[in-house]
Amino acid sequence: MKSLKIIKIGGNIINNKMLLNEFLDDFAKLDSPKLLVHGGGKSASELSIKMGIEPKMINGRRITDDETLDIITMVYGGKINKNIVAQLQARNSNSVGFSGADGNSIVAIKRPVKDIDYGFAGDVTHVNTQTINVLLQNDISPIFCAITHNQNGQLLNTNADTIASELAIALSKDYKVSLYYCFEKNGVLKSIEDDDSVIEHINNQKFEQLKKEGIIHDGMLPKIHNCLQSIQKGVATVHIGNNKMPFEQDIKCTTFQQ
C-alpha cells in the first residue's frame, strides 16, 4: 500500500506570514501523494467585525448564521485557500483547492439543534474519495478548507480537525495514511508551561489516566479523542506537534497508537 501524508494546519500558521511561508516550503518539498487541510478562524472573525457582524462563539464553537456562513465561505474557501494554492504553485507543487462540495468529497448534515443552535455547522456523514483519488494518482495535492456540504446545495461550516480525521479514515482504504496535526505547541504537554514536557505516546489507556490526573482538559480533550478514534478506524499513524513535525524525522511530538 502506498503511503499518504495528510497535514492539518491552523490559525497559528495561517495568520503568520513567515511561518506559513516556511511551512509551504516544506510541504512543497514533501513527496507526493500528500493532502493539506487548513482552518482559519481568526481571519473569518476579522472580516466579520469589519462588516459589522459580531462573531458569536459558544464553547469555542462558532455560531454560523446565514451571513457568517458567507464570511466563512469567502475567507476559508476564497482568500486563504486560493492564496495557499497560488503559493504552492509558486513552489512548483501542483495543487487544487477543495471544499467538501468539490468532487462531492465531504458530505455532512446540519448539526441537529439540542441545547444550542449552531446554525450552518456541519457534522460529517460521508467521505467520497473518488475525485480526491483522481488527483492524488496524478500527483496533484488537494488543499482542503473547512467547509462541507449537505448534497442538497447547502454549504456547512465544519471543524477542520474533523475534516482532516474523516479524510484520513476514508483514504485509509487506499493508502497507509499518516495524519499530522500541526499547532502552536510541540505536542500534548504534561505541563502547559514547559514546552519540552511532550507526552510522546498516547493510547486509550494512557488517555484515561491523563484525564484522571487532570493533565488533559478543555480544548485538548476533543482533539485527542479525534486522534484515538482515527487510529481505531484504520489510520496508520496520528501525530500532534509543531509545524516542523511532519517534515523532520527526529522531532519530538505526540504519537497516537491503538
Binding-site residues sit at 40-41, 62, 157
Query: Rounded to the nearest whole angstrom, what is the least distance from the CB of residue 248 to a second copy in the complex?
Result: 24
Q: Which stretch binds a second copy (CB under 8 A): 30-38, 129-137, 162-170, 197-205?
A: 129-137
Q: What are phi and psi of 176, to 5 degrees?
A: -85, 100
Query: Rounded to the nearest whole angstrom, what is the least distance from the CB of residue 83 to a second copy in the complex?
Result: 7
CA distance 240 to 227: 9
C-alpha cell at 112: 441537529
Q: Please name which of 90, 64, 94, 60 lies closest in space to residue 76, comparing C-alpha atoms.
A: 64
Using CB under 8 A as the binding rule, whether residue 126 contacts a second copy is answered as no
Using CB under 8 A as the binding rule, whether residue 135 contacts a second copy is answered as yes
Residues 177-216, interacting with a second copy (CB under 8 A): none
Using CB under 8 A as the binding rule, whether residue 161 contacts a second copy is answered as no
User: What does the DSSP assignment read for 107-160?
Assistant: EEEEPPPSSS--BSBEEEEEE--HHHHHHHHTT-EEEE-SEEE-SSS-EEE--H
- Rg (the chain; Cα; Å): 18
Using CB under 8 A as the binding rule, whether residue 49 contacts a second copy is answered as no
Pick from 97, 119, 187, 241 the residue near a second copy by CB under 8 A: 97
Using CB under 8 A, count the residues that bind a second copy.
Answer: 41
Given the complex with a second copy, which of 74 and 215 has the nearer CB atom?
A: 74
- Other Cβ atoms less than 10 A from the Cβ of 112: the count is 8
Binding mask 139-158 for a second copy (x = CB under 8 A): -x------x-x-xxxxx---
